[in-house]
Amino acid sequence: MKGEILIVILLLAGVVWVFYNYSWTFYLFITLLIITVFYLFFVKKYDEFERGIIFRMGKFNRVVGPGWSVVMPFFEKEFSRIDARTHMIDIQIDEAYTSDDLKLELDGLFYYTVIDPEKAVLKIDDYTKGLKNIIVGETRNILGSMNMREVFANIDKLNDILLDKIRHTSWKWGIDVPMLQLKSVTPPIEIAEAMQSKEIASQQLQAKRFKAEAEKVVISAIGSAAKNLNDKAVMYLYIQALKDMGSGQGAKIIFPAEFMKIVDTVGSTNAALKGLDVTSLISQIKDKIVEEKK
């Protein structure tokens, strides 16, 4: 106010000076001075994303911007300047109890845009703080009607429910909330560890059941295939198994009597097994089977 009074006094002094000095340079000077003062104190500039709330004599008058707008000193003033862009705010809820009395911690974010600057200024003192309070309150109310399993099973639905309730109130303030997202829901440590242990045990049990079923299928398949094999083929598979068993260090193989009879038919070089190389023996038996097939 003092600055504006000083400007008026200077303008009056300039006018008086002009009356006493009829030089054209003074007219030019006064003209430039008036234009400069008018631009600095009467004109408000608003960027593309800005809106101004103008009060006239203490009452709301209009919303201005973007661009230039004339605001008359003494009678009008810029009460507030609003950023009309979409803003993102993080929100954290340290305590929220479910219907089964379990405490959860939630971390999320929401986006908001001021779509009606008049309501955003006149209907609420601090719309950012108001939005946070609504989100915290509605989240606690919704979680209080759900147990913990329902909460974790319906995170996406919970976001939609919260967004619907919040937008119902935010529109009254001239604010739109296009998106709300709960990034994490954290149960108590002991509950999380118990859930993890149960999940691990369930996975191990499922793996054991799968392995047992697979072994049954393999045994059944081998049994069905063995019915169509002759004695030589079965013996060949048996020898292959013995070979795999004997591949380890310090492995000992006990040959049944039936196997010894087959070995005797291979040749005179196989008459004694003492000190015989198992790999060489199997190779000779394979050759014998091939010869008989020919």
Q: What residues have CB less than 8 Å from 119, skipping those under 6 apart?
A: 172, 173, 174, 175
Whether residue 31 has pLDDT greater than 50: yes
**CB contact at 8 A, 74 and 151:** no
The residue from 20, 51, 82 where one domain ends is 82
In a domain, 196, yes or no: no
Q: Is there a single domain that holds both residue 24 and residue 7?
A: yes
Residue 85 confidence (pLDDT)? 92
Determine the residue type at 161.
I
**102 and 26 in one domain?**
no
76 domain residue, yes or no = yes
**Sheet with 50-56, side-by-side order of all strands:** 59-64, 50-56, 76-83
**pLDDT per residue over 70-93, tens digit each?**
888 888 888 989 999 999 998 888
For the ranges 38-47, 112-121, 227-236, the lowest mean pLDDT is seen at 227-236
Q: 236 lies in which domain range?
A: 225-293
| Cis ω before 66 (30° cut-off from 0) | yes
Are residue 266 and residue 174 in the same domain, yes or no? Answer: no
d(CA 19, CA 17): 5
Q: Are residues 116 and 183 in the same domain?
A: yes
Query: How many domains, in total, are found in the chain?
Result: 3
- Is 210 inside a domain boundary? no
Q: What letter would DSSP give residue 101?
A: S
Give the whole-angstrom CA distance, residue 251 versus residue 240.
15
How far is it, in rounded angstroms, from Cα 115 to Cα 15?
46
Residue 44 above 70 pLDDT? yes
As given in the structure block, the two tokens for residue 18 are 């002009």
Whether 7 is in a domain gets the answer yes
Within 13 Å and on the Cβ side, how many CA atoms surround 258? 6
Tokens of 221: 């398949």
156-207 pLDDT, tens per residue?
A: 888 888 888 888 888 999 999 998 888 888 776 666 555 555 555 565 556 6
Q: Is the dihedral of CA 169, 173, 178, 180 positive or negative?
A: negative
Residue 227, amino acid: K
Q: What is the mean pLDDT of residues 95-102?
A: 82
Residue keyed to tokens 């862009």? 85
Tell me which amino acid residue 9 is: I
